[in-house]
Amino acid sequence: MKPGRLAATLGSWRTALRIARREARRARGRTALVLAMIALPVLALSFAAASYDMAELTRAERLDRQLGVADAELRWTAVNPVTQDAWGEGYGTVGGETVPRIRPVTADEIRSVLPAGSRVALLRRWVPFEVRVDGRAVSLDGRALDLTDPLTGSLATLRAGRRPTAPDEIAVSPRALRRLGVRLGDPVQTTGGIRYLVVGVVEFPDNLREVVALRPESPIGSLPKPEESWLVDLPGPVDRALADRLNARGVVVSARAPVPGRDAVYTGSTLPDPEQAGNAVLVGGLGLLEVVLLVGPAFAVGVRRRRRDLALVAVAGGDAAHLRRIVLADGVVLGAGGAALGLLLGVGAALAGRPLVEQYLVSARFGGYRIFPSALAAIAAVAVLAGVLAALAPAWAAARQDVVAGLAGRRNPPRHRRHWLLLGMLLTVAGSVVAALGAAGTTPTVVLAGLILGELGLVFCTPTLIGLLARAGRLLPLTPRLALRDASRNRSSAAPAISAVMAAVAGSVALGIYVASDDARDRAAWQPGLPPGNVALLRTDPPEAAGSLPPADEVARPVRAVLPNATIVAVATPECARPAAPEDFCVAAAVLPPERRCPYEPAWNTATGGRTPAGDDPRCVRTLREPSDIGLPAVVDDGAVLPALTGAPAEEVAAATRVLRAGGVVVTDPRRLVDGRVTVEVTHGSGAPTATATLPGYPLRGGLPVDRLFLSPRAAAAVGVVAAPLGYLIDTDAPPNAREQSRLAAELSRVAPLSVQVSTEGPGSDQRPLLLLLAVASGVITLGAAGVATGLAAAEGRRDLSTLAAVGADPRVRRVLSLCQAGVIAVLGSALGIGAGLGSATIILVSLNRRYAQTWPVTEPYPLVVPGLTLSVLVVVPLVAMLGAGLLTRSRLPVERRLD
């Protein structure tokens, strides 16, 4: 571009921006409307960006929280030598597989590998801590560390009370104090019967949830855990010789400075996942389109109200480029203003609301006050882009207007342009094809791109649809006919509003259908582990502290105090009769004959025709399902637990009981029987030889379709296991409610450490709040778009209203006209949105079902469930928009004097 032309262009833009700034001050109502629409999403995004930057810790901040005042953290992970990266975040074994260290590490062992004068402190970042609150077992995060030691005490901040000094003392976080319902000095008791005294309130900056700090020597804190580590204070730095010596012993070192002579281990790509990045860009583009469609009507009305000014610019020598720049400058000024306002409010809210976000959203303290400048700059650029895009169509319309008609104040009806309809139809068809291809190829990004293309096609088709409805409106009464005619004449403002409603409703309907279908799928896939309503009382004390349980008659008394008609039976599972090692355990299972086993491993493999090879093999057909709520291992029983555990018919239970009392076994999978006998295999966790026995068996075909194995006492002895008490089963007439469950847990806590688990017919999730939230969100956008379009149409149509008043129209006509104008926007947008949402959800569910159909085992497909709650709200919202427009519009018709 030549220097003179460049200077002219810059001067033209400077003038256009000055005109836009003056126009923004003159039309303050429209300016405030556009600023609010642009600033709101900018506010939300800038709040999220600043909060994310503050929550994302730097390496120095992470090390401060990990080490406190210590110089390094040591993890003795293996017996053989290891190699690690510079920061101790990744490690591997030198020359072979890792041999994990099982025996607990002592403080003397740690000191023996460190320089003289080093101090060490034990840290277990997680230990199980479960207490009973109001009769219910509640699990809290436990940490075992000495808060009086400067090394580990620096990891927490004391808020009240004092630090624990005795094994039976604990400190809790503020949330845990509220959850337990205790005060300082009050005792708490774990489900295992261990009693602790709450002496302090502490805060761990990396975890603001319910945390309990125990002493390392406390009954629970002293249990060795594989994730234990040691904080050390060294007399000197961590040099290469020390790191090599520690690595040779199997110790991984994490220090404040990188370990010399170590490279940073490449743990993965620093680039974002392409599919996730593509989905984020598409969703962000959809949000940008929504803002453009909502803001577009305001720019369109502004151009129509400035017809005379723009015509004067054309008469003074301005060409089409000048006119476009004047209108586009409105988008630049208002977009920049909305971006500045949104950034100011969003960053301010993030900085001011930091304590609330830390406490209730992230549950961790932020690293510092930061605002993420690069993200804020990108958000501001997108906001300006949204303003320019919203003004783009009005700018092209302003450049093509009739100058004479603009000077005379006449309004020419928009010309019907077929190419917009053709483009919209092509985009709709192309979007459907792309989404179908994505569904066939199970590519979510392609499906989403196709849905967005189809939605854009509907946006381009909307003006033509408005014109067709206006022609059909000749058969309607006067007021609806006027509303349709006005929408047809002002398509540049009506069409974006209708499209915005359509986009919001389509997204709400599609998400609502997916949520409802996912909930229905979960319910269809739900498999109770016990007959629905029955109760399992399972012991909660740890295996190393497990003692004998009281007899069933003693437990029956507190149970019948809550459930009078309940039947209680004890349940036991197999345990090694002669453990090969202290940590040995035994697992008993019925062996499936080799000729009946499925030759394929569960995997996401695809074959020709969209099916896995296992899908066509009858040996891979699974008639039994995994329990969704209460899963129990094999049971040692003589037939007493069969009714409460399986719900099988009485005659089958009687036959199975006879087999068990004769020394046999009972299975629920008939394929495991060969000539009336079942092969039982017992595997030792320590690697000891497997015990196998072939015993008489009975197939229990009735009851729950869950794979179960019942061993008689004689059959258990034949494979080298004995019965270990697990708890009790309660057969009830009706499932206990929440209050009865709380009472039952409270009564049982006095007898034995038992948890109460009730089998249900389906998952307990309720999606109605989420569905209502989606419907309300789209409803708010519908009301906003209808209100904005109706208000702009009323401001633009004052001359038509004056004409109605002059010819003697009833004052109520204005109310009814506003009602019908809002109805055109809301009803047409909602109808298009519901149709687009149904189509989008169908494509998405088909895509997911095809993906699941190519796996084995085949999972439950998604049904197409249309949520009545979402649709009912979306049907009511247009009526509310129409009623609001009618009530908020003044009935008095204006009488204006026309100057010619």
Note the pLDDT of residue 222.
56
- Enumerate the β-bridge partners of residue 698: 666
Residue 190 Cα distances to 128, 133, 474, 536, 742, angstroms = 10, 10, 77, 20, 16
Question: Which H or E run includes 391?
Answer: helix 373-399
In the predicted model, residues of the chain with pLDDT beneath 50 are 266-270, 604-610, 898-900
Query: How many other CB atoms sit within 10 Å of the CB of residue 382?
Result: 21
Of the candidates 348, 339, 328, the one whose C-alpha atom is nearest the C-alpha of residue 381 is 339
Confidence at residue 59, expressed as pLDDT on a 0 to 100 scale: 87
Question: What is the C-alpha to C-alpha distance for residues 399 and 166, in angstroms, rounded to an integer?
Answer: 83
The pLDDT value given to residue 50: 92
pLDDT at residue 774 in the model: 67
Handedness of CA 546, 551, 554, 557 (dihedral sign): positive
Rounded to whole angstroms, how far apart are CA atoms 516 and 535? 29
Which amino acid does the sequence have at 149? Answer: D
Write the pLDDT tens digit of every residue in 37-49: 888 889 888 998 9
In the Cβ-directed half-sphere of 346, how many Cα atoms lie within 13 Å? 29
**Residue 236 is encoded by which pair of tokens?**
């000197």
How crowded is residue 18: how many other Cβ atoms within 10 Å of its Cβ?
Answer: 12
Neighbours of 661 (CB within 10 A): 13
Tokens 């005490």 belong to: 153
CA distances from 121 to 58, 61, 219, 229 (A): 25, 21, 18, 9
Burial (CB count <10 Å: 0-12, 13-18, 19+), residue 495: buried
Are 157 and 183 contacting, i.e. CB atoms less than 8 angstroms apart?
Answer: no
| Residue linked to tokens 């139809």 | 425
| pLDDT score at 233 | 92
Convert 257-312 into a string of H (helix), E (strand) and C (coil): CCCCCCCCCCCCCCCCCHHHHHHHHHHHHHHHHHHHHHHHHHHHHHHHHCHHHHHH
Straight-line distance from the first to the last Cα atom of the chain, in angstroms, rounded to the nearest whole number: 45
**Residue 892: what pLDDT?**
65
What is the Cα–Cα distance from 389 to 289, expressed in whole angstroms?
9
Partners of residue 694 on adjacent β-strands: 679
Contacts of 316 (CB under 8 A, 6+ apart): none
Q: For residues 261 and 699, give the distance between their C-alpha atoms in angstroms, rounded to a whole number.
A: 64
Burial (CB count <10 Å: 0-12, 13-18, 19+), residue 893:
buried
Tokens of 45: 């995004």
d(CA 212, CA 141): 6
DSSP output for 831-892: HHHHHHHHHHHHHHHHHHHHHHHTSBSPPPPPP----HHHHHHHHHHHHHHHHHHHHHS--P
Structure tokens at 276: 């996730």
Q: What is the 3-state secondary structure (H, E, C) of 645-667?
A: HHCCCHHHHHHHHHHHHCCCEEE
Mapped onto helix, strand or coil, the DSSP state of residue 109 is helix
Residue 68: strand, helix, or coil = coil
Report the pLDDT value the prediction gives residue 7, as an integer from 0 to 100.
Answer: 60
Its sign, for the CA torsion 436, 440, 442, 446, is negative
Size of the chain, expressed as the number of residues it contains: 900
Residue 460 is classified by DSSP as H
